[in-house]
Structure formats: C-alpha cells, structure tokens
Amino acid sequence: MNEGRFSMKLLISACVFVAISATAANAIDLAELAPCRPAAARLCDRSGGMTWANLLRCGATLAANSWRVSGSCRAVLHKYGQL
C-alpha cells in the first residue's frame, strides 16, 4: 500500500512541476513579444483580452501588415512562424 501512495505522490509532484514549467515558459514567450507591442496596439483588436488565441490572431494581423511594423517585430514574427 505504501508503494502505491509513493507512486501517486511522485505523479502529482511531476504534474505540478510540469505546470510550473509551462507557466514560466509562457512568461518568457510574452516577454519576447515586446518588440511587437506598439504595432499590436495600433493594428490589433484588444477587446477580447490577452489570450493565446487573440495573440495568434494578432500575429496574423501583424504578418499581413508586415510592412507597417518594425524590423525587430518582423524578426519575432519570423521566429514564431508568422512570416
């Protein structure tokens, strides 16, 4: 019975670790998007909040208007596969 409890604790610990790692990775990704912030403020619809779906939609909008955004923003769009 103790082996089963140990396995369950190990599994829960692993899940918590993965969740914390994913949260930290998302924070880094959002920081990398900073060069696109001025263009996003001008060109993207912000009524839906800052969700991943809206960020992807905004990325597509910025890619479609790539001639209106800075070079550093184009580099970020290229890195994430939008250009």
- Taking a C-beta distance cutoff of 8 angstroms, is the pair 83, 66 a contact? yes
- What is the reported pLDDT for 72? 93
- What residue spans define the domains of the chain? 2-79
Give this prediction's pTM: 0.58
CA distance 20 to 39: 30
CA distance 38 to 21: 29
Amino acid type, 74: R
Pinpoint the alpha helices (H) of the chain: 2-32, 37-43, 52-64, 71-79
Q: What are the pLDDT digits (tens) for 10-56?
A: 666 665 555 555 555 555 466 788 888 888 888 888 787 767 777 77
